[in-house]
Structure 1
């Protein structure tokens, strides 16, 4: 298990989750807009934004102005595609390199279930989850990611719907940045809020 702790992950603080949720819903947000929506102090918001940027979760840009005045800083979620984070790109690249090294070192009796691009996506996903304090169990055949027990289920029980939505979008951004056929299909429903199993989807698989 990773030595990272949930207490230091990007989604460990509900204030950060709330900020990220707002930015995922509408890109190019300003500090003033986030302050109005959350009622947090601007300095607190800036601290959370700095943390999210350093984790590769969001990106910032300066507003292009055609009139006089100081340009505002705009914040958008890093989706791994149209809005790409240099930190996010580096993390997925490094994860793939470490994954390739591990597969060369390990002696496996059976061939890999997934192709190389999908394996690199899994590498990036696992490292992201470990950085968040999870100990993910990956089933490459069923394309499931078991995060049970979910450390956030109790600590943020009242915000579970928003938290799960934000987290799934964050993980989709990682998969997209890594490049490949896998995408987040959703989360398996459970009566136990501590049970968290994420279902992935292979692009080659279609459903009627």
Structure 2
């Protein structure tokens, strides 16, 4: 068999192979598995190769006791099955629900976002000072990577507004906007602080437009534009 795609029959057969390997006290070869499950050895070999690629099954060669090729044996990979269903959205709802009931939930969420924003943004050399357009560009790149589909306001020469056309946590944001949106604002604030930007994210308007949230930017207080600093030194 040379096919590499997965059909509707593949998953049950691979699950049956896994269960047979787990039930066996010793490693099994292709022939034993084919006889046990009543399927062709080539089919067994095909599915075993896929299970090995997925990290669910280990393959090793048995030391030969005489002439002939060494025998290939298979065992289930130790550890929990990583192919099962995930429930990350449920976990996020549990954590957000708990956070929303704590005192100063918005402050805590914004602080968490700041920490991660500083971690996720691309660093710049200590000697480098960004101007506002480049800082906005780097912030936009970060939010693009995170799935927010940011769109700086083209009608605004100073780019003091960024529309977020997509929310990667939309269903959660609709239910927990008072907690999740401050976290998003914190992400942007942390990123801008990390790159020593001459701008700050002053606010985030959730669902300000039917198809977008709006981020408002303004010059950072006490942080002069690089050109202004150079003018004062000449």
TM (normalized to structure 2)?
A: 0.40
Q: Which has the higher contact order (CA 8 A, sep 6+)?
A: 1
Which of the two has higher C-alpha Rg? 2
